[in-house]
Amino acid sequence: MPALQDAVHSLFLRTAHGIRPGLEVTQKLLEKLGNPHHTLKCIHVAGTNGKGSVCAMVESVLRASGFKTGLYTSPHLFRFNERFRVSGQDISDSELEQLIIDVEAAAGTLDTRPATFFEISTAMAFEYFCREKVDYAVIETGMGGRWDATNVLQPVLSVITRIDLDHAEYLGTEIEKIAWEKAGIIKKGAPVICGPMPVEAEAVIYKEAAEKKVPILGSDEAVFFQRLESRRTDHLLNIEASGRQYHNVRLPLGGSFQVENCGVAVAALEDLSDIEGVRLQMKKGLETVKWPGRFQMLSMRPPVIYDGAHNLGGARALSQTLEELFPKFANGFLFSFMKDKDIEGILKTFAPAVEKAWALTLPGDRAMKAEEIAAIGKTAGIDIEPTESPQTAIDWVETGKKRLVCFTGSLYLAEELKKYRLFNG
């Protein structure tokens, strides 16, 4: 659809306006649209790591329980449509085209600075979910929380996942400062679920909840797991929460970090069940969740893995998971990064596990060139070879025993892998 491609291209040109923290433009834009967010029951999720996975699990359980759901997440892996989902389905091309036209038209009448790409996208999500009359909308913050465009909503429940360093140029380099930004999604009248995180971050979040006089619950206090089996692609769990027990739950997401994310999601869902007085199909929803791009096995023999780890916390989680699941393997890594990431810190985290490494330049102005990644690699203690094709890493892993290759560093790498038929989504 050429018209849709033009509309999406025009929308992406708004990224030139950069990231402009603040709520005024989003609020005025939504007023022009009739305040669609006021009609929605929202679960609002912030955090540095795991928030997308938690959103996916919460949405999957609500959908499995018979509710019509909306899911707004970012970024997408392949198509912009992925950011706007109703009942598990991406928005159609025709609906997306009309939505962009309608929201851009409203944005054109504002007497403010130009709306940014994310402000327009967020307004589109609220408008779409309102039109579709969803029962619950699961909304992921973009970058921060307090001044994030999504923070115009009044949620039924707020959720904050593990906090770590990321987007330092906007959120700061101190965990406490980042936690303060994320804690900004806490609103009066909406209980809070807090995931496991550093004690200094947790203290900030609990303080914000106390000041706003809202109940807060730590997921690790509310949800207990018995891990019966962990494989490279899933986990078999017994789960206990709120006096309820869920036996032999097969969570189809690889990586030990997903068990933590599952705990946050279950705590949120149990709280929502009490708030709303609804019964949820927890086991069915968790067993049918899909969230590609996070420790995803693209091939079992030889092991080829894709993980969109793009910050220090993600790098640590990936390193730990590789050590747990592939303890005697030689690890090859192909890295791609955006320029705004702590590339040296991420590479230093991976350095002890690296046997062989390559760097690939992704399309776009935000992408770090392979040669620059290789230069940073020297500082981090990794010999990185620039390459123009991910096939280089595949050739290496296929010519030796006990080898694996992991593609990582950016969620945008998935689209490049798909071009080489290495990633099917």
Residue range 364-410, pLDDT digits in tens = 888 999 999 999 999 999 999 999 999 999 999 999 999 999 999 99
74 versus 8: the higher-pLDDT residue is 74
pLDDT in tens, 279-328: 999 999 999 999 998 999 999 999 999 998 888 888 999 999 999 999 99
| pLDDT(167) > 50 | no
Report how far residue 193's alpha carbon sits from residue 261's, in angstroms, rounded to the nearest whole number: 12
pLDDT in tens, 318-337: 999 999 999 999 999 999 99
Band of residue 15 on the pLDDT scale cut at 50, 70, 90:
confident
**DSSP class per residue in 304-342:** EEEE---SHHHHHHHHHHHHHH-TTPEEEEEE--BTTS-
| pLDDT(270) > 70 | yes
What is this structure's pTM? 0.94
| pLDDT(168) > 70 | no
Q: Supply the pLDDT for residue 166.
A: 52
Report how far residue 328's alpha carbon sits from residue 326's, in angstroms, rounded to the nearest whole number: 6
Task: Classify residue 220 as exposed, middle or buried by CB count within 10 Å of its CB (0-12, 13-18, 19+).
Answer: middle
- Sequence ranges of the chain with CATH classification 3.90.190.20: 296-419
Is the preceding omega at residue 75 within 30 degrees of 0, hence cis? Answer: yes
Q: Supply the pLDDT for residue 235.
A: 97
Name the helix (H) or strand (E) containing 103.
Answer: helix 93-107
Q: What is the CATH number of domain 2-287?
A: 3.40.1190.10
| pLDDT(201) > 50 | yes
pLDDT in tens, 25-50: 999 999 999 999 999 999 999 999 99
Q: Which CATH class is domain 296-419?
A: alpha beta
- Sequence ranges of the chain with CATH classification 3.40.1190.10: 2-287
What's the mean pLDDT in 76-81?
Answer: 93
364 versus 115: the higher-pLDDT residue is 115
